[in-house]
Amino acid sequence: MLLLVAMVAPIKNPPEAYALFIDTICDGLTPSWWDETGYPITFATKREAQLEIADTLLHQITQFQNGEREFDDAINVEDQILPVSLHPDGSIELENGQVFGSRD
């Protein structure tokens, strides 16, 4: 009898939440949405974050249609959705260990 053993990589824990980030020239990767207390806004699912971006994009397109915004600006999406871990103090942590807390 031949016994086959498969090496399987451990399953990574699913992200606790998702946050929107923007890559800036001065600060590099940084959260792009913050709440009224100064902490990054998080979303329970990736789809929830995608819907928030879509809602913003629809608003920007409406502004273009009303002549309030240029076309290239209206269709530009700079936000990227990244998985994050949540800390009890409200800060978030990327998979690479980078932590973002309150802006205050």
Q: What percent of the chain has pLDDT over 70?
A: 86
Longest dimension (CA), the chain: 75
pLDDT at 19 over 90: yes
Query: Which letter does DSSP use for residue 40 in this model?
Result: B
What pLDDT score does 52 carry? 95
| More confident of the two residues 39 and 10 | 39
Q: What is the mean pLDDT of the chain?
A: 86
Residue 103 pLDDT level (bands cut at 50, 70, 90) = confident
Element (H, E) at 28: strand 28-31
Element (H, E) at 10: none
Query: Which letter does DSSP use for residue 57 in this model?
Result: H
- For residue 64, give every residue at least 6 positions away whose Cβ sits within 8 Å of its Cβ, in sequence order, or none: 70, 71, 73, 74, 75
Which tens digits make up the pLDDT trace of 46-94?
999 999 999 999 999 999 999 999 999 999 989 999 999 999 898 999 9
